[in-house]
Structure 1
């Protein structure tokens, strides 16, 4: 290991997951203002399952709105719809889904992955070619690791591996802590959409929380 100080970390950025979209009209109307209010690197479009044509139409409606703000549009699952809808990539769940999707997505589009329950799975995802790994999202039963366990996994990954890591935050304190632990991106969903003040106020606060975490982490200090 070299004693040279690592280069300063880029500022962590937000990754915004939509609610499950059926009729996209109202969300499309508020999205440009919302994305302009904070530093959002990417939007994850979650869709109500239906026929492929309807899902592609939704993606086509979201793609220009998101991409015109400089953010990337990723689709939750359905890598086969990415190119047809004009999205930038797909978020897959688990190693098998990633392996299946990589040939059709790479090198032109993003293949991100979550559902990584072990360190071994995470390393396998990196070897397969994942463009990012997500830690901390709830499983099918709504269970997730403790915030401390998620922070430790992010810290481990950021220390050792090149691809970006994403922390799934359910509170502002998690957003701050995950950014401080080395997350390159912090994914937010209900934290924003369920806020009684409206999503914009919550998104601005989440953005401030992750920026504050970086300010508190000296660039020459190693993680862990």
Structure 2
């Protein structure tokens, strides 16, 4: 799972945009990671040749891992161990999840998102996923409302032990999702599209999760 904590507030899980190349992005990433404590980083890459993907992952790992940030990637299980990443994130698919867990657990993190129903969430948890992400899609396949995600997080956190990650589509959603019981709050476009820059967005997110725990 993403790195755990002893404090009672949610930790931050940052996801990159889908990148065709990482070099122009590294300065913005460095600024974001330096501005607030981040538990995990999900690197999303456009389809590219394996050698290029490995170079991209290595470049990001060189920034994230020395800062204590667990680096997760999308893709195939073999890419995780080959590139020195800490884990794999994948959309829910029963067979793919089982394969990833078999090949990577317990040495690497295996997380799952795109959980359209409670039944899928329970199946993912029973299969051995290290964390579940709520908020990337709703039951109709579209991005869900804050209320939908908060209700799903509260349900999961009350009943199950597997950590849950809640995707905040805006900084305004960070506090409510943290208060709903998410162990981790995920941010992507809310950080990268912030006109103040990613560092200021991350500082605000860190403040919001702490305030939600008071």
The alignment's TM-score, normalised by the length of structure 1, stands at 0.87
Which 5+ residue runs of structure 2 have no aligned equivalent?
1-5
- Residue 210 (structure 2) aligns with: 211
| 1:83 corresponds to 2:94 | no
- Residue 126 (structure 1) aligns with: 125
How far apart, CA to CA, are the structure 2 residues paired with 1:55 and 1:159? 39
CA contact (8 A) 2:73 2:89 kept: yes
Give deviations 1:135-193, integer Å, cap 9, x for gaps.
Answer: 01147x97222211110110011111111101010112211111000000011000000
CA contact (8 A) 1:95 1:124 kept: no
The Cα of 1:98 is off from its aligned counterpart by 1.3
Q: Secondary structure at the match of 2:213?
A: helix
The Cα of 1:205 is off from its aligned counterpart by 0.8
Alpha carbons of structure 1 residues 142 and 39: separation in structure 2 relative to 1, 3 Å: farther
CA contact (8 A) 2:116 2:141 kept: no
Matches within 5 A, 1:163-182: 163-182=162-181
How far apart, CA to CA, are the structure 2 residues paired with 1:94 and 1:50? 23
CA contact (8 A) 1:116 1:122 kept: yes
CA contact (8 A) 1:77 1:93 kept: no
Which 5+ residue runs of structure 1 have no aligned equivalent?
1-7, 216-224
- Residue 60 (structure 2) aligns with: 62
Aligned residues: 207
- Residue 145 (structure 1) aligns with: 144
| 1:184 corresponds to 2:159 | no
Alpha carbons of structure 1 residues 23 and 142: separation in structure 2 relative to 1, 3 Å: farther
Alpha carbons of structure 1 residues 142 and 58: separation in structure 2 relative to 1, 3 Å: farther
How far apart, CA to CA, are the structure 1 residues paired with 2:22 and 2:75? 18
- Residue 44 (structure 2) aligns with: 46
- Residue 3 (structure 1) aligns with: none
The alignment's TM-score, normalised by the length of structure 2, stands at 0.91
- Residue 115 (structure 1) aligns with: 114
Give deviations 1:50-80, integer Å, cap 9, x for gaps.
Answer: 1111111111111121001111000023222
Larger Rg: 1
- Residue 3 (structure 2) aligns with: none
